[in-house]
Amino acid sequence: MTPPDLDRTNALFLDLDGTLIEIAATPDEVVVPASLPALLSALHALLGGAVAIVTGRSLAMTDSLLKPFAAAAAGEHGVSLRLDDGTREDVQVDAAMPPRWRKSLAAAAERWPGLLVEAKPHGVAIHYRLVPDREEDVWRLVRALVPDDHPTFRLIPARKAVEIGPRTTSKGRAVERLMAHAPFRGRRPIFVGDDFTDEAGMEAATRFGGQGLRVAEVFGGQPAAVRAWLQRGVDILGGRVAPIGASVAVSP
């Protein structure tokens, strides 16, 4: 599948890890290309502000990674939402994660060196990328903590990780909430993501007449290819190159 050329009717919803930046051994070890913040800022200007980062990371961490770029965003899979004008619309979480869950996960990290427990404002992510042989153990542990019918929290699969997060949020709901506001309202959304958590965002984009682009299928699994596509979008929107299939005037 060839990714579509961007035009000024689009709105962009972009996952971060595995989509805009390469996955690293640990969340703290990711490398943000020096050109990425300026690229996002250029897209933001050319699309009238209709660019949002939709990620499992907290908004504070997302802003830290992408500074000085800061615009509309959804953090922790939609728990925290920021509109393009800076207004926050965070979801009200009914209950805090039980302290005993955090203690149980911390104890597991001590038993299984290499397991990383990443605390978040409204949940926690458990990364087993460095100890892939512990995958079954990790899933057995988190399923014991969070049953399928838990009223407040759910398990969110990720790449070599699993997250415990609020049941009431998803990246799809984040897209829906952003699409209700300017500058996203009335545009054709494109959601780009790389894992299970992004599927809801892609489905929401489709419901609004847009589409979802999977990094593995459309970009060969390479965030560098996603960034190259976004750069082409900047060049097209800025009038520096013609879209594919566009007619070219020929002087007589």
Instruction: Name the residue range of residue 62's domain.
Output: 10-91+169-237
Q: Is the pLDDT of residue 34 over 60?
A: yes
Note whether 115 and 128 are within 8 A (CB).
yes
- CATH code for the domain of 124: 3.30.70.1020
Taking 50 as the threshold, does the pLDDT of residue 229 lie above it? Answer: yes
For residue 209, pLDDT beyond 50: yes
Domain shared by 153 and 39, yes or no? no
Contacts of 251 (CB under 8 A, 6+ apart): none
Bridge partners, residue 138, by sequence = none
Among the candidates 141, 166, 191, a domain finishes at 166
Look at residue 245 in the predicted model and tell me its pLDDT: 63
- Give the pLDDT band of residue 47 (cuts 50, 70, 90): very high
Residues 59 and 115 in one domain: no
Could you tell me if residue 246 is inside a domain?
no
Choose the catalytic residue: 5, 7, 15, 133: 15
Confidence of residue 252 (pLDDT cuts 50, 70, 90): very low
**Selection from 204, 186, 211 nearest residue 77 by Cα:** 204
Looking at the structure, tell me whether residues 181 and 193 fall in a common domain. yes
**pLDDT score recorded for residue 138:** 97
pLDDT, residue 176, reads 97
| Average pLDDT along the chain | 92
State the Cα–Cα distance between residues 114 and 131, nearest whole angstrom.
Answer: 6
Q: Is the pLDDT of residue 120 over 90?
A: no
> Is residue 121 a part of any domain in this protein?
yes
* Residue 4 in domain: no
In this structure, are 110 and 134 located in the same domain? Answer: yes
Please tell me which residue, 184 or 248, carries the higher pLDDT value. Answer: 184
Q: What was the pLDDT predicted at 248?
A: 40
28 catalytically annotated:
no
- AA letter at 21: I
> Looking at the domain assignment, is residue 63 inside a domain?
yes
Query: pLDDT tens digits, residue range 168-201?
Result: 889 999 999 999 999 999 999 999 999 888 999 9
The pLDDT of residue 246: 56
Q: What is the mean pLDDT of residues 118-127?
A: 90
Residues 77 and 130 in one domain: no
199 & 142 share domain? no
Domain end, chosen from 166, 187, 204, is at 166
Q: Please give the tally of structural domains in the chain.
A: 2
Do 139 and 192 sit in the same domain of this protein?
Answer: no
**In a domain? residue 229:** yes
Say what the pLDDT of residue 97 is. Answer: 86
Tokens of 52: 């949002």
Yes or no: say if 14 and 23 are a contact pair by the CB < 8 Å rule.
no
pTM exceeds cut of 0.85: yes
